[in-house]
Amino acid sequence: MGAGAVFAGPAGGPLHLFTKSCMTREAVLRLSGITKRFGPLVANDAISFELMRGEVIALLGENGAGKTTLMNILFGHYVADEGAVEAFGAPLHPGDPKAALAAGIGMVHQHFTLADNMTVLENIALGTAPLWRPRLDRGAARARIRALSADFGLSVEPDATVAALTVGERQRVEILKALYRDARILILDEPTAVLTPGETEALFRTLKLLVAKGLSIIFISHKLAEVMAVSDRVLVLRAGRLAGERVTASTGRAELAALMVGQEVVSPPVPAMRSGTPLLVLSEVSTGGRGTGARLNRVSLTLRAGEITGLAGVSGNGQSALAGVIAGTETLTTGEIEIGGTVVSAWSPREALRRGIGRIPEDRHAVGTIGDMSVAENVISEQYRTARFARHGLLDWAAARAFAEEIIRDYDVKCPSPDSRIRLLSGGNMQKLILGRALDPKPRIILANQPTRGLDVGAVSYVHRRLLEARERGAAILLISEDLEEILALSDRIVVMSRGRLSGASARGERTIAELGELMAGHQGEAA
């Protein structure tokens, strides 16, 4: 991937060289034989390892490999079916976050566990004093937070309301929460997913300070470059099993990648294509503020036939708003959308479908499917009004079932019948159904928003293959992904989004990863 330069320490060398010196061989945490099943799925299969004092362990694995489940067991959100955890030599009571906190384990969750309506101080102090105490000592708490902030380079205003903080600041609050409780072991779950490269570097500096004070860290990630930069030891999880353990200094990315995936990583061949006619043109598009996501600020973008445009960026920078604009769910405050040469007036999801846009939404559970309805009911949701499925206001269930069976067959979906509730399917099978639904009308424009998030390797390459097929037949595709490798592998053209603005497009191979990283951080060479 070659992103090493971005993640190098201040002196140019990898961070782990600095952290090595203060290590003593004392196990602070010991997991033995942890197994967790969810129904037929084995999320963790007999996992054992030890964490030493002053050590940074990276827990590496693909989405769905069982990393988060393992940490949730460690922290007491889940109870393991088998196995035990020992912290500082004493067994840890399972299923009780309170016990984990008392044992000195702190966790920085992937999705922040902060109450937006409360201040930083209130979030940090929550649960640190006995609940029945008649008064919260704000003065003492404020002083302690200030001191911790100064010691570890975690600047944040104790009396600010969390709702007003940036993502980077929120993460600092999460770390402060753990430190405030004197955590000796810190678990960070995908901490860099929401950070710019600059913020990531700051985080790594903080981690170094923590290790120097004798804390131990478990760093969960699926990004090889970061793992190489920050850890002393790497544990690789694959399909719920411990697939390998390596000392960071004596391994390399290739080996870790092979361990992680379990097979040679084959990028699908991407044949060169001539650039086609513009099918969708956004000019100067802005959106209003809805929810917490960033809004778009005069974004212009052209999608051409037979071309995959990759949209890179740190999540939360306006990708959702852009996806919403193309999907028809977002209303524009400025600018216009031109499809096939005509400017659209009334814009809605239905209009987007009518204009030949196939959409793969970011969240397949909340937006892509209706969990309590059947597979057949779900696959017709974008076409139920057409003559194929409805006549005189009556639905043709035989046709719907036949359509579902067609997708199940063509897309190799594992599913008992068209009548089963879609909620009971695995993520990969659900995604294949969504793909089948979106691609069935042979859309000329395709929006693929995080199409492979959380899927296993097989499903990922399946989705990629389908997208490339659509490209072959001349569709214009926008691929939005947080996974830079995915963007680099598939895109003919790459644009970068930062704070609601879009960088100018670059052709395949035109920009280095470091340059893209700069753009992601918002250092814009050229405004779009």
Partner 1 sequence: MRLEPKPAPSLGVLLLYPLGAIAATLVFVSLLVLAAGASPFSVIWLVAKGAAGSQFAALETLTRATPLIFTGLAVAVAFRAKLWNIGAEAQLYVGGIVTVVLGTGALPLPQPVLLPVIAIAAMAAGALLLLGPALLKTRFGVDEVVTTLLLNFVVLLFVAMLLEGALKDPMGLGWPQSSKVVADAQLPRIVTGKRLHYGFVLALAAAFAIWVVMKKTVLGYEMRAVGHNPEAARFAGIPVDPVLMKTALLSGGLAALAGFSEVAGLKGNLTLDLSPGYGYSGIVVAMLAMLNPLGVVAAAIFVAGIFVGADAMSRSAGVPSYIADVVVATALLTMVTAILLSRFRVRWR
Partner 2 sequence: MEALDILVTTSFWVAAIRIASPLIFATLGELICERAGVLNLGIEGIMTVGAFAGWFTVYSGGDLWTGVFVAAFAGAAFGLLHATLTVPLGLSQHVVGIGITLLATSLTYFTYRLALPQVTSPPKIEPFQPLPIPGLSQIPVIGEAMFSQTPLTYLAFVSVAVVAWVLYRTPLGLAVRAAGENPSAVEAQGISVTAVRMGAVMAGSALMAIGGAFLTMSAFNSFFFQMVNGRGWIAIALVVFGSWRPGKALIGAILFAAFDAYQIRLQQLAGGVLPYQVFLMLPYVLSILALVLVARRATYPKALMIPYQKGER
Residue 72 binds which entry of partner 2, partner 1, none, CB below 5-8 Å type-dependent: partner 2
For residues 194 and 166, give the distance between their C-alpha atoms in angstroms, rounded to a whole number.
10
Which contiguous run of DSSP H or E holds residue 479?
strand 476-480
Q: Which stretch binds partner 2 (CB under 8 A): 69-77, 249-257, 302-310, 450-458?
A: 69-77
Minimum distance of partner 1 from residue 368's CB (angstroms): 7
Q: Which stretch binds partner 1 (CB under 8 A): 19-27, 45-53, 301-309, 380-388?
A: 380-388
327 counts as binding partner 1 under rule CB under 8 A: yes
70 counts as binding partner 2 under rule CB under 8 A: no
133 counts as binding partner 2 under rule CB under 8 A: yes
Q: Find tokens 């000195």 and name the residue.
A: 104
For residues 304 and 286, give the distance between their C-alpha atoms in angstroms, rounded to a whole number.
21
Residue in 89, 90, 135, 274 binding partner 2, rule: CB under 8 A: 135
DSSP letters spanning 158-214: TTSBGGGS-HHHHHHHHHHHHHHTT-SEEEEESTTTT--HHHHHHHHHHHHHHHHTT
DSSP 269: P
481 counts as binding partner 2 under rule CB under 8 A: no
Residues of span 441-460 touching partner 2 by CB under 8 A? none
Contact 197, 170 (CB under 8 A): no
Residue 512 binds which entry of partner 2, partner 1, none, CB below 5-8 Å type-dependent: none
Contact 364, 421 (CB under 8 A): no
Contact 321, 294 (CB under 8 A): yes
Question: Is 410 strand, coil or helix?
Answer: helix
- Give the total of residues touching partner 2 (CB under 8 A): 35
Residue in 244, 349, 427, 454 binding partner 1, rule: CB under 8 A: 349
266 counts as binding partner 2 under rule CB under 8 A: no
Q: Spell out the residues 6+ positions from residue 398 whose beta carbon is closer than 8 angstroms to its own.
A: none
Q: Which stretch binds partner 1 (CB under 8 A): 20-28, 351-359, 474-482, 503-511?
A: 351-359
Minimum distance of partner 2 from residue 454's CB (angstroms): 14
Residues of span 142-201 touching partner 1 by CB under 8 A? none
Minimum distance of partner 2 from residue 47's CB (angstroms): 17
Residue 470 buriedness (CB in 10 A; 0-12 / 13-18 / 19+): buried
The sign one gets for the Cα dihedral 417, 419, 424, 427 is positive
Minimum distance of partner 2 from residue 122's CB (angstroms): 5
Contact 371, 449 (CB under 8 A): no
Minimum distance of partner 2 from residue 126's CB (angstroms): 5
Contact 6, 225 (CB under 8 A): yes
Residues paired with 448 in a beta bridge: 360, 479
Closest CA to 429 of 416, 415, 418: 415
332 counts as binding partner 1 under rule CB under 8 A: no
101 counts as binding partner 2 under rule CB under 8 A: yes
Q: Which stretch binds partner 2 (CB under 8 A): 133-141, 336-344, 413-421, 507-515?
A: 133-141
DSSP 137: -
| Shorter beta-carbon distance to partner 1: residue 38 or 164 | 38
Residue in 128, 166, 348, 512 binding partner 1, rule: CB under 8 A: 348
423 counts as binding partner 1 under rule CB under 8 A: yes
480 counts as binding partner 2 under rule CB under 8 A: no
What length does the chain have?
A: 528
Q: What are phi and psi of 234, to 5 degrees?
A: -120, 130
Q: Which stretch binds partner 1 (CB under 8 A): 21-29, 103-111, 332-340, 418-426?
A: 418-426
For residues 436 and 443, give the distance between their C-alpha atoms in angstroms, rounded to a whole number.
11
For residues 247 and 482, give the distance between their C-alpha atoms in angstroms, rounded to a whole number.
28
Q: What are phi and psi of 239, to 5 degrees?
A: 45, 45
319 counts as binding partner 1 under rule CB under 8 A: no
382 counts as binding partner 1 under rule CB under 8 A: yes
For residues 275 and 473, give the distance between their C-alpha atoms in angstroms, rounded to a whole number.
13
Angle at 384 between CA 378 and CA 390, to 5 degrees: 135
Minimum distance of partner 2 from residue 111's CB (angstroms): 5
Question: Is 483 strand, coil or helix?
Answer: coil
Minimum distance of partner 2 from residue 31's CB (angstroms): 18
Q: Which stretch binds partner 2 (CB under 8 A): 114-122, 204-212, 323-331, 469-477?
A: 114-122
Minimum distance of partner 2 from residue 110's CB (angstroms): 8
Closest CA to 302 of 345, 337, 346, 351: 337
Residues of span 23-42 touching partner 1 by CB under 8 A? 38-39
Residues in contact with partner 2, shown as a per-residue x/- string from 136 to 155 under the rule CB under 8 A: x-------------------
Interface residue list for partner 2 (CB under 8 A): 72, 75, 77-78, 96-98, 100-102, 107, 109-111, 113-118, 122-123, 125-136, 177
Q: Which residues bind partner 1 (CB under 8 A)?
A: 38-39, 79, 94-95, 327-329, 348-350, 352-353, 359, 361, 366-373, 377, 381-382, 384-385, 390, 393-395, 397, 421, 423-424
